[in-house]
Structure 1
Amino acid sequence: MSAQNPNKSAGLLQRSVKDHWYVKYDEVGFPSIQKGWVLPVERWKDFDPFILMAEDWFKRGTFSDHPHRGFQTVTYVVDGRLEHIDNAGGRDILEPGDVQYMNAGWAARHAEEGVEEDIAHTLQLWLNLPKHLKQTETTYQNIYSENAPVVNVDGGSVKVFSGHVAGVEGPMKSVVPITLSEINLTQGATYIHRLPETHNAFFYVLSGDMDFGENGVHLKKHGVGTLTFHDSGNEEKMSELVIKANSRRSRVLVYSGTPIKEEIVPYGPFVMNSMEEIRQAFRDFHNGKFGPPAK
């Protein structure tokens, strides 16, 4: 699909970069190799509805059988191969550019493994569930790169995994709707990315060198930025984020979603609204209510 590079629109919020930083990485014990926090969990109120994002390099055995409750995950495979195994009989292998969505809901139990001798390199986003949806059914969805629609723009392309973006709809069906787009631009190209003005949004630079927003913040690979938005605006009205590539093969992921505005307690593998609910989740897991191991 093709589209012309749009011009900025009068009357629409022009997004600026509110905060930005570079991810710092730590070496960790084998079979895990390296970890960095793209979105650190202690700042979840700033990122709402997003809780955290971890960037991991790991081999088989790092994320074997484990439980979750009360949130969703969106996992983007950067490199290597990732095997998903769940205790409902699901098993699949995801490759670079693929995405897995999981609604942990009330009781997920799964494993995320490197395949054979591969080093899996992933970005895993934790996406909150509002209180009334924390007991929903556990579901998984794999979105293979080739099944996400691609819109060609001047000097690049936009691949849409989730939400209505650039005139297409991504295949990901999250319980709490979000947008997720992968934007590839060549040197000198400028693209205007449109998002609902009420969405809290952030981006992560996968490669290259780019300028973002009305304030032209310059970030390279491993750079993260959060964006201004209209918290009490009109969810039907769009806003615009200007992105300019300064090097060839510049690639960025952009995520956005409506804030849930609830207090949460992220603790271990669970995200609930109180410590008592966290304790109940641990009791339920130890009492076998999450089902058999994923293997």
Structure 2
Amino acid sequence: MANEEKVNRSVRDYWYVKYEEMNFPAIQKGWVLPVERWRELDPFILMAEDWFKKGTFPDHPHRGFQTITYVIDGRLEHIDNGGGRDILEPGDVQYMNAGWAARHAEDGVEDDVAHTLQLWLNLPQNQKQTETLYQNVYAEDAPTVSFDGGTVKVYSGNVAGVIGPMESIVPFTLSEINLTEDASYTLELPEDHNAFLYVLSGEVEIGEESTRLKKHGVATLSYQEDGDSDKLSTLHLKANRRRTRVLVYSGRPIKETVVPYGPFVMNTMEEIKQAFQDFRDGNFGPPAV
């Protein structure tokens, strides 16, 4: 297997995030992954980039999916109704398995403007009733691999020969790649993982076609839909500017019908209605305060 030729990934589609001003205490929002594209993005439902202050995301429920929240700038306070409370800083990531019934709050700290990326990662139908879990992955706890001209920090999955600390209940990788100008890196990902990347800063050339993307650029990547999870594919990246920083996300498609509605992601509208009823009936527990 080690001698088998790896599939080289290319860019399927790309776009730049468009932002809109929000009503205070929210400040600005952009859809990195618009929810209407969830079918082609499976297992990803959406990803939002938000700037906000305290009071924007108070106590609210979730069911049926997972969130991965990356803090770009400012401080983010997480509170859940299971007694969890913590403050995350730039480079920290929080993983939440909403499972059957999460209830939490996410807010800026004091006068900070929190700047975050939140990804919604779907759960297969047979795991939508799993236990609610929260895990904070601090930047210093994510292993970093150095190479000529840069580093790769691994938050989740087996990447660059190291395993990230995030304990996702579905196959998922998240890595942050930092490159100096003209530096190159070849990232390896399971060949059957759907994947996308987001440019946080600088400019990068992606894949064999050298598709160029600048800050706020998003690219979806080719993959082997019926591939082997044990085989790896490659993604070539080259920086055209110094301080180029790219986040790469990948996950195995679930291939199920999905109904995303409000704070819930289920498989049928009847299940969505039941989630709202369960919340009204108090089955999600007390508020997160």
TM-score by length of 2: 0.98
Q: Which moved further from structure 2: 233-242 or 89-98?
A: 233-242
The equivalent residue for 1:3 is none
Matches for 1:212-291 after TM superposition, within 5 Å: 212-291=206-285
Shift of 1:289: 0.2
Deviations 1:20-55 (A, max 9, x none): 000000001000000000000000011101110000
Of the three residues 33, 47, 53, the one matched with 2:47 is 53
Q: Which amino acid aligns with 2:99?
A: G
State how far apart, in whole Å, the 2-side matches of 1:151 and 1:95 are. 21
Of the three residues 88, 96, 103, the one matched with 1:102 is 96
Shift of 1:154: 1.1
Q: Which amino acid aligns with 1:279?
A: K
Q: Which amino acid aligns with 2:26?
A: S
Matches for 1:9-158 after TM superposition, within 5 Å: 11-158=5-152
- Aligned-pair identity in percent equals 72
Q: Does 1:164 align with 2:158?
A: yes
Q: Which amino acid aligns with 2:252?
A: T
The equivalent residue for 2:286 is 292
Partner SS, residue 166 of structure 2:
coil
Q: Does 1:185 align with 2:179?
A: yes
Deviations 1:168-195 (A, max 9, x none): 0000001112000000000000100000
Deviations 1:98-155 (A, max 9, x none): 0000000000000001000000000000000000000000000000000000000110
Q: Which amino acid aligns with 1:146?
A: E
CA RMSD of aligned residues (A): 0.8
Shift of 1:10: 7.0
Shift of 1:16: 0.3
Q: Which amino acid aligns with 1:73?
A: T
State how far apart, in whole Å, the 2-side matches of 1:96 and 1:137 are. 28
4+ aligned runs moved over 6 Å, structure 1 = none
The number of equivalent residue pairs is: 287
Partner SS, residue 283 of structure 1:
helix
Partner SS, residue 228 of structure 2:
coil
Shift of 1:215: 1.2
State how far apart, in whole Å, the 2-side matches of 1:271 and 1:111 are. 18
TM-score by length of 1: 0.96
Q: Which amino acid aligns with 2:43?
A: P
State how far apart, in whole Å, the 2-side matches of 1:201 and 1:242 are. 14
State how far apart, in whole Å, the 2-side matches of 1:110 and 1:176 are. 22
Shift of 1:233: 1.3
State how far apart, in whole Å, the 1-side matches of 2:227 and 2:165 are. 27
The equivalent residue for 1:204 is 198
